[in-house]
Amino acid sequence: MGNLYYSNSDAIIDDRLLHYIQVIAATKLRRGENFTLTLTQRANPEPRITIWMNPNIPLRFTYTTPEATPLVGAYLQQLAAQANSTSGLIIDLDHWTEPAPAQQAHAAAR
Protein backbone atom coordinates (compact mmCIF):
# COMPACT_ATOMS: atom_id res chain seq x y z
CA MET A 1 0.00 0.00 0.00
CA GLY A 2 1.36 3.35 -1.03
CA ASN A 3 0.50 6.90 -0.06
CA LEU A 4 -0.79 9.85 -2.01
CA TYR A 5 0.22 13.06 -0.24
CA TYR A 6 -1.65 16.15 -1.39
CA SER A 7 -1.08 19.44 0.40
CA ASN A 8 -1.53 18.57 4.11
CA SER A 9 -3.52 15.37 3.53
CA ASP A 10 -2.70 11.81 2.59
CA ALA A 11 -4.52 8.70 1.41
CA ILE A 12 -3.41 5.07 1.60
CA ILE A 13 -3.87 3.43 -1.80
CA ASP A 14 -2.88 0.11 -3.36
CA ASP A 15 0.49 0.51 -5.14
CA ARG A 16 -0.92 -0.63 -8.50
CA LEU A 17 -3.82 1.82 -8.36
CA LEU A 18 -1.55 4.59 -7.13
CA HIS A 19 0.65 4.08 -10.19
CA TYR A 20 -2.37 4.64 -12.48
CA ILE A 21 -3.28 7.79 -10.55
CA GLN A 22 0.32 9.02 -10.75
CA VAL A 23 0.47 8.61 -14.54
CA ILE A 24 -2.89 10.34 -15.03
CA ALA A 25 -2.02 13.18 -12.64
CA ALA A 26 1.41 13.72 -14.18
CA THR A 27 -0.04 13.80 -17.69
CA LYS A 28 -2.92 16.15 -16.89
CA LEU A 29 -1.03 18.48 -14.56
CA ARG A 30 1.91 18.75 -16.97
CA ARG A 31 -0.62 20.01 -19.54
CA GLY A 32 -2.03 22.48 -17.02
CA GLU A 33 -5.32 20.54 -16.80
CA ASN A 34 -6.89 20.56 -13.33
CA PHE A 35 -9.26 17.72 -12.40
CA THR A 36 -11.00 16.16 -9.43
CA LEU A 37 -10.05 12.85 -7.86
CA THR A 38 -12.72 11.26 -5.66
CA LEU A 39 -11.81 8.33 -3.42
CA THR A 40 -14.53 6.37 -1.64
CA GLN A 41 -14.00 3.84 1.14
CA ARG A 42 -16.73 2.87 3.60
CA ALA A 43 -14.38 2.02 6.50
CA ASN A 44 -12.71 5.43 6.34
CA PRO A 45 -13.90 8.04 8.87
CA GLU A 46 -14.45 10.22 5.80
CA PRO A 47 -16.04 7.71 3.38
CA ARG A 48 -15.83 10.02 0.35
CA ILE A 49 -13.02 12.48 -0.31
CA THR A 50 -12.77 14.68 -3.39
CA ILE A 51 -9.46 16.38 -4.16
CA TRP A 52 -9.02 19.25 -6.62
CA MET A 53 -5.84 18.27 -8.45
CA ASN A 54 -3.94 21.42 -9.33
CA PRO A 55 -0.24 21.82 -10.27
CA ASN A 56 0.19 24.58 -7.65
CA ILE A 57 -0.56 22.24 -4.74
CA PRO A 58 2.23 19.91 -3.51
CA LEU A 59 1.68 16.30 -4.62
CA ARG A 60 3.79 13.26 -3.73
CA PHE A 61 3.45 9.51 -4.27
CA THR A 62 5.20 6.90 -2.11
CA TYR A 63 5.19 3.17 -2.72
CA THR A 64 5.90 0.04 -0.68
CA THR A 65 7.10 -1.87 -3.76
CA PRO A 66 10.47 -0.88 -5.23
CA GLU A 67 9.55 -1.39 -8.91
CA ALA A 68 6.74 0.22 -10.85
CA THR A 69 4.00 -2.22 -11.79
CA PRO A 70 3.15 -2.67 -15.47
CA LEU A 71 -0.02 -0.84 -16.45
CA VAL A 72 -2.87 -2.19 -18.58
CA GLY A 73 -3.06 0.32 -21.45
CA ALA A 74 -6.80 0.14 -22.16
CA TYR A 75 -7.61 0.45 -18.46
CA LEU A 76 -5.31 3.46 -18.17
CA GLN A 77 -7.13 5.05 -21.11
CA GLN A 78 -10.48 4.33 -19.43
CA LEU A 79 -9.37 6.03 -16.21
CA ALA A 80 -7.88 8.97 -18.15
CA ALA A 81 -11.16 9.44 -20.03
CA GLN A 82 -13.01 9.48 -16.72
CA ALA A 83 -10.53 12.06 -15.36
CA ASN A 84 -11.36 14.22 -18.40
CA SER A 85 -15.10 14.12 -17.62
CA THR A 86 -16.98 16.70 -15.56
CA SER A 87 -17.26 14.24 -12.65
CA GLY A 88 -13.50 13.63 -12.67
CA LEU A 89 -11.75 10.42 -11.67
CA ILE A 90 -13.84 8.44 -9.15
CA ILE A 91 -12.35 5.36 -7.50
CA ASP A 92 -14.04 3.05 -5.00
CA LEU A 93 -11.15 1.77 -2.88
CA ASP A 94 -13.34 -0.99 -1.39
CA HIS A 95 -14.04 -2.62 -4.75
CA TRP A 96 -11.11 -1.62 -6.95
CA THR A 97 -9.61 -4.36 -9.10
CA GLU A 98 -7.32 -4.02 -12.06
CA PRO A 99 -8.32 -6.00 -15.15
CA ALA A 100 -5.71 -8.55 -16.15
CA PRO A 101 -4.23 -8.08 -19.64
CA ALA A 102 -5.55 -11.51 -20.73
CA GLN A 103 -9.08 -10.75 -19.51
CA GLN A 104 -8.98 -7.40 -21.22
CA ALA A 105 -7.85 -8.90 -24.55
CA HIS A 106 -10.58 -11.56 -24.32
CA ALA A 107 -13.25 -8.95 -23.61
CA ALA A 108 -12.06 -6.80 -26.53
CA ALA A 109 -12.30 -9.78 -28.91
CA ARG A 110 -16.06 -10.21 -28.27
> For the chain, which residues make up each domain, given as ranges?
2-109
32, burial (CB in 10 Å: exposed 0-12, middle 13-18, buried 19+): exposed
Nearest to 61 by CA among 24, 28, 98: 24
pLDDT of residue 101: 66
Per-residue pLDDT of the chain (110 residues; tens, 9 = 90+): 999 999 888 889 999 999 999 999 999 999 999 999 999 988 877 789 999 999 999 999 999 999 988 899 999 999 999 999 999 999 999 888 877 764 444 444 33
Q: Which helix (DSSP H) or strand (DSSP E) does residue 2 occupy? A: strand 2-6
Spatial distance between the Cα atoms of 18 and 52, rounded to a whole number of angstroms: 16
